């Protein structure tokens, strides 16, 4: 009977994994993904971040993906291959997380955490998209994985390797800084208390090495101040000027078929709103165990503090996008698994234990079925129409011809690349880019690709210039310079 149950459970779990892959690979391209892949095109053709085009990201993510772009070029095959790569990186992270949890909390907690991570609709929605967050999270998890091994094995080289991965996460995307800072701070207190200052210094040197190397590269290029301004300060003023701001609460509203796969209050929706409370309960269970055993476990403390810091930042942030949840939801999945084992171990030998365990297993089965259906529904929302739209424009505009605004896989004459909306950018940043009308005239830009809505945000004299110098073509949103 147990063997049949194990086989059935394994099949169901594999079906869930298949649905996650299906959603991750086929779901329509996000605006940010188009931006990041287009950055690959710009860099591959000699453009420089911060000087040639505007970005608030470091180029680490793009440097890592350049070999893929070099192989497949400016085609949609590049998108497909990069999506497949992101899926591989995601499952690598999930497996590393499960192994990490196994070492900290035990195998049963690891198995439950593994399922909970794959059931999270926020994670499935954005964790396989082409964005630096996903590479950063793999580096963070690898950092924790190596730190746990260093603490267990006492080998100093693993402290250094752990620090390097945390440092790489910092220079990949700035969102990693709160968790890395919490990790460094709490580990520092622990190391000093345990008279392990040497291990602490090795760990901190590991963090510093990639950060210092990155800063030295930009200092050598003479672009250090431009990079720091773009990565550290521009986001603060950019997010204040966004036309449409989404808050923390927005993503917990029901009837979102893109996230939850169906209208109404689905099981995935109930899971999403329950996850923070389950994680809080899990943190309480860990603290109770540590109090009872009179022994502090450093990694659960770090993860709990990182979750708290990340949650507060997310809650207080004036603008939240769904990928922001990635930094904390994997930790919530870990702590949400803890109460299941905590309760089970206390009731396993009682008569009611099997009944409660059976009810829990039944709930997991229902959740897996519901999540699988949502993932398959989401995968049907693909990028076919988007590919067709870009292809129509590419058939009109030769590959090496620049456009305004910038078009995917075409040179840029203005620093805002496709994926950045003119109306969202504050005047203080726009002032650096130069006058659009003068650029269009000097470069004799042959094509404009803009809707009436986009043009309405341009300065009045630029709108007048467009009206006098460009004519609409039969292709929607494509203007051609008037001879």
What is the C-alpha to C-alpha distance for residues 114 and 109, in angstroms, rounded to an integer? 9
pLDDT digits (tens, 9 = 90+) for 187-203: 999 999 999 999 999 99
- Residue 346: per-residue pLDDT: 78
- Residue 362: per-residue pLDDT: 83
The secondary structure of residue 324, as a DSSP letter, is G
- Residue 454: per-residue pLDDT: 95
pLDDT digits (tens, 9 = 90+) for 116-160: 999 999 999 999 999 999 999 999 999 999 999 999 998 999 999
Domain ranges for the chain = 2-379, 384-481
What is the C-alpha to C-alpha distance for residues 289 and 79, in angstroms, rounded to an integer? 47
Task: Give burial (CB, 10 Å; 0-12/13-18/19+) of 417.
Answer: buried
pLDDT mean across residues, the chain: 93
Q: What is the CA radius of gyration of the chain?
A: 25
Helix spans in 27-106 (H): 31-44, 60-72, 76-105
Structure token pair of residue 352: 């009611």
What region, left, alpha or beta, does residue 28 occupy, with left being phi > 0 and alpha being psi -120 to 50 degrees? beta
What is the C-alpha to C-alpha distance for residues 313 and 253, in angstroms, rounded to an integer? 20
Instruction: Say whether pLDDT at 306 is over 70.
Output: yes
pLDDT digits (tens, 9 = 90+) for 332-371: 999 999 999 898 887 766 767 677 777 778 888 899 999 9
pLDDT digits (tens, 9 = 90+) for 201-227: 999 999 999 999 999 999 999 999 999
pLDDT digits (tens, 9 = 90+) for 265-292: 999 999 999 999 999 999 999 999 999 8
Q: Which residues pair with 412 in a beta bridge?
A: 403
pLDDT digits (tens, 9 = 90+) for 235-260: 999 988 998 889 888 999 998 988 99
Instruction: Say whether pLDDT at 1 is over 70.
Output: no
Q: Please, what sign has the CA dihedral across residues 54, 57, 58, 61?
A: negative
Residue 479 φ/ψ, nearest 5 degrees? -115, 145
The dihedral over CA atoms of 160, 163, 164, 169, expressed in degrees to the nearest 10, equals: 170
User: How far apart, in Å, are the Cα atoms of 55 and each of 39, 228, 252, 477?
Assistant: 9, 11, 29, 25
Three-point CA angle 288, 289, 292, nearest 5°:
85
Task: Give burial (CB, 10 Å; 0-12/13-18/19+) of 225.
Answer: exposed
Average pLDDT over residues 173-197: 95
Higher-pLDDT residue of 300, 258: 300
Label the pairing between strands 403-404 and 447-449: parallel
Cβ atoms within 10 Å of 240's Cβ, excluding its own? 11
Q: What percent of the chain has pLDDT over 90?
A: 83
- Residue 318: per-residue pLDDT: 87
pLDDT digits (tens, 9 = 90+) for 408-424: 999 999 999 999 999 99
What is the model's pTM?
0.95
Query: What three-state secondary structure class fits 241?
Result: coil
Query: What three-state secondary structure class fits 314?
Result: helix
């Amino acid at each position: 009977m147990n063997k049949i149950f194990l086989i059935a459970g394994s099949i169901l779990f594999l079906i869930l994994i298949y649905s996650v892959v299906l959603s991750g690979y086929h779901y329509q391209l996000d605006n940010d993904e188009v931006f990041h892949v287009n950055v690959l095109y710009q860099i591959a053709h000699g453009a420089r971040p911060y000087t040639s085009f505007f970005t608030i990201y470091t180029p680490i993510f793009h440097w890592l993906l350049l070999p893929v772009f070099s192989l497949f070029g400016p085609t949609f095959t590049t998108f497909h291959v990069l999506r497949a790569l992101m899926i591989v990186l995601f499952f690598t992270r999930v497996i590393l997380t499960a192994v990490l949890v196994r070492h900290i909390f035990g195998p049963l907690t690891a198995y439950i955490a593994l399922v909970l991570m794959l059931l999270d609709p926020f994670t499935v929605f954005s964790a396989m998209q082409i964005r630096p967050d996903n590479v950063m999270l793999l580096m963070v998890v690898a950092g924790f994985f190596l730190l746990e091994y260093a603490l267990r094995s006492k080998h100093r080289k693993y402290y250094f390797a752990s620090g390097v991965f945390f440092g790489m996460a910092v220079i990949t995307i700035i969102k990693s800084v709160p968790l890395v800072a919490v990790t460094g701070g709490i580990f520092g207190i622990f190391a000093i208390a345990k008279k392990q200052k040497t291990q602490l210094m090795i760990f901190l040197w590991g963090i510093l090495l990639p950060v210092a190397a990155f800063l030295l590269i930009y200092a050598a290029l003479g672009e250090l101040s431009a990079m720091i301004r773009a990565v550290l300060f521009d986001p603060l003023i950019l997010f204040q000027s966004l036309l449409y701001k989404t808050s923390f609460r927005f993503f917990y509203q029901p009837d979102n078929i893109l996230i939850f796969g169906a209208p109404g209050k689905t099981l995935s929706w109930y899971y999403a709103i329950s996850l923070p409370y389950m994680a809080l309960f899990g943190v309480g269970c860990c603290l109770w165990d540590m109090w009872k055993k009179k022994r502090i476990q450093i990694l659960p403390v770090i993860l709990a503090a990182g979750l708290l810091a990340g949650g507060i930042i997310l809650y207080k942030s004036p603008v939240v996008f769904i990928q922001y949840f990635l930094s904390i939801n994997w930790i919530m999945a870990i702590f949400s698994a803890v109460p299941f084992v905590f309760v089970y171990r206390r009731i396993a030998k009682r008569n009611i234990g099997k009944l409660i365990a059976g009810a829990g297993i039944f709930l997991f089965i229902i959740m897996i079925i519901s999540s699988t259906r949502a993932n398959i529904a989401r995968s049907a929302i693909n990028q076919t129409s988007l590919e067709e739209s870009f292809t129509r424009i590419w058939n009109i505009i030769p590959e090496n011809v620049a456009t305004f605004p910038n078009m995917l896989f075409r040179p840029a004459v203005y620093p805002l690349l496709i994926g950045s909306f003119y109306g969202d950018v504050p005047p203080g940043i726009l002032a650096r880019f130069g006058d659009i009308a003068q650029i269009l005239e000097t470069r004799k830009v042959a094509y404009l690709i803009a809707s009436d809505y986009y043009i309405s945000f341009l300065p009045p004299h630029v709108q007048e210039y467009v009206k006098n110098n460009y004519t609409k073509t039969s292709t929607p949103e494509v203007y051609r310079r008037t001879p």
